[in-house]
Amino acid sequence: MAIPPIFVKAARDIWSFEWKILMNGLAPSDSNGNYKRPINIQQQIQIPTKEDLNNRASNQMPGLIIGRSCPWAHRAWIIHEIKGLKKSINLHIAQVDKEGGRWRLDPPIKGCKTLQELYQKCGNYQSRRATVPMLFDPGKEPESKLRLINNESAELVEILNNWPIYDQEIDLNPSKYKKEIINWQNLIQENINNGVYKCGFARNQKAYEKASKNLFSTLNIIEEHLKSNGPWLCGKNLSIADIRLFPTLIRWEAIYYPLFKCSNKPIESFPHIIKWRKKIFNMYNIKKTCDVDAWRKDYFGALFPLNPSSIIPKGEDITTTINN
């Protein structure tokens, strides 16, 4: 029996109304339907000194909280891996609580079972903005109050690059290329890292087409730059500029192409980007930070407004995708 058109229209209208409510909480937009990423409010950054860290036990070291699926946290995780910071920064992996729409801490950290609770203990709780990555300092003494060091990924990668204790002496933000790195950061952040979300979270066709156009025109700029000046974005070595771009492009086939509608051109249309991505993936131990199963589970399973069925698609192993 065919469903009467009036029921179809009513169902579409109800779903559209509820979808907008959900999107307002998940992905706020401007009056034209363009996604606007909320900004974290930062306080003065206080980094422990080398002497301080050398006098701490392992359980007194600062903690870096990341989520496997979060591209912003992925940047910080990569630098933690490259620089060899595990002796002076404990790594904690938060889990997505798709029912509650928040980050869950399992095992708990300092008695906190959710990231929101940990923010509260740090005295920096922001309503609905308990985000990863988060770098916090538990202090040396048992009675020490937890303190938020930083939770803004663009700043955090620089903090980790300059961390006072490390195993690998690698400068990912050399002063010689600082201006270029900043220029790339501004372009990449707005049009690619935020750009894929502007596509996926666009509220209307016009907003989506604007975001898609900016996204792919910026990919063209990067492709031409790598073709003429590669293998890296700045100079002859890997830099923060590359690391800020990599987490978005490594998720392309599994997440942003199918779920966020970043489909104007296949990523294979950019051969120099593909080569650049493969090079990074196989450096140091970066492939260890790339968990495509967690990405699919968290994006497709938790982003209800984009995938109401919560069906998680199957796909090939990330190593096969990148190295083929």
Same domain, 210 and 77: no
- With 90 as the cut, is the pLDDT of residue 137 above it? yes
The model's pTM is 0.92
For residues 277-304, average pLDDT: 96
Structural domain ending residue among the three candidates 137, 161, 185: 161
Structural domain ending residue among the three candidates 131, 161, 191: 161
Confidence of residue 143 (pLDDT cuts 50, 70, 90): confident
Same domain, 308 and 227: yes
Q: How many helices (H) and strands (E) does the chain have?
A: 12, 6
Residue 199: inside a domain: yes
At 237 the pLDDT is: 94
Residue 128: inside a domain: yes
How many structural domains does the chain have?
2
Same domain, 61 and 150: yes
For residues 172-184, average pLDDT: 96
Confidence of residue 125 (pLDDT cuts 50, 70, 90): low
User: Could you list the residue range(s) of the whole structural domain that residue 229 is in?
Assistant: 175-323
For residues 275-293, average pLDDT: 97
Give alpha helix (H) positions in the chain. 5-26, 50-54, 71-83, 115-122, 153-161, 178-188, 194-200, 205-229, 240-250, 271-281, 292-302, 318-323
Q: 43-59 burial, b if ≥16 CB within 10 A, otherwise e?
A: eeeebbeeeebeebeee
At 210 the pLDDT is: 97
Which CATH number do you get for residue 288?
1.20.1050.10
Q: What is the pLDDT of residues 55-112, one digit of tens each?
A: 999 999 999 999 999 999 999 999 999 999 999 999 999 999 988 778 999 999 999 9
For the chain, what percent of residues have pLDDT higher than 70?
90
Lowest mean pLDDT among 141-150, 188-197, 244-253, 271-280: 141-150
For residues 128-137, average pLDDT: 87
Higher pLDDT, 309 or 3: 309
- With 90 as the cut, is the pLDDT of residue 209 above it? yes
For residues 247-273, average pLDDT: 97
Which tokens belong to 141? 């003494």
Radius of gyration for the alpha carbons in the chain, expressed in angstroms and rounded: 21
Residue 1: inside a domain: no
Same domain, 131 and 202: no
Using CB atoms within 10 Å of the CB of residue 95, give its burial: 0 to 12 exposed, 13 to 18 middle, 19+ buried. Answer: middle
Average pLDDT in the chain: 90
Using CB atoms within 10 Å of the CB of residue 32, give its burial: 0 to 12 exposed, 13 to 18 middle, 19+ buried. Answer: exposed
Same domain, 181 and 296: yes
For residues 173-183, average pLDDT: 95
For residues 271-298, average pLDDT: 97
Q: 152-182 burial, b if ≥16 CB within 10 A, otherwise e?
A: bbbebbebbbebebbeeeeebbeeebeeebe
Residue 97: inside a domain: yes
For 78, 85, 314, the CA distances from 297, given in Å and listed in that order, are 21, 28, 10
> What is the end-to-end Cα distance of the chain in Å, rounded?
48
Confidence of residue 126 (pLDDT cuts 50, 70, 90): low
Higher pLDDT, 46 or 196: 196
Which CATH number do you get for residue 140?
3.40.30.10
Residue 300: inside a domain: yes
At 43 the pLDDT is: 60
Same domain, 87 and 187: no
Same domain, 98 and 185: no
Same domain, 151 and 215: no
Lowest mean pLDDT among 11-15, 232-236, 277-281, 315-319: 11-15
Instruction: Please give the Cα distance from 197 to 27 (Å, whole number).
Output: 9
Locus of tokens 């771009």: 245
Lowest mean pLDDT among 140-149, 200-209, 310-319: 140-149
Q: Which of 279, 280, 264, 185 is nearest to 220 (CA)?
A: 264
- With 80 as the cut, is the pLDDT of residue 154 above it? yes
At 34 the pLDDT is: 78
Q: What is the pLDDT of residues 1-39, one digit of tens each?
A: 677 777 656 666 665 655 566 666 666 777 777 777 776
Same domain, 186 and 134: no
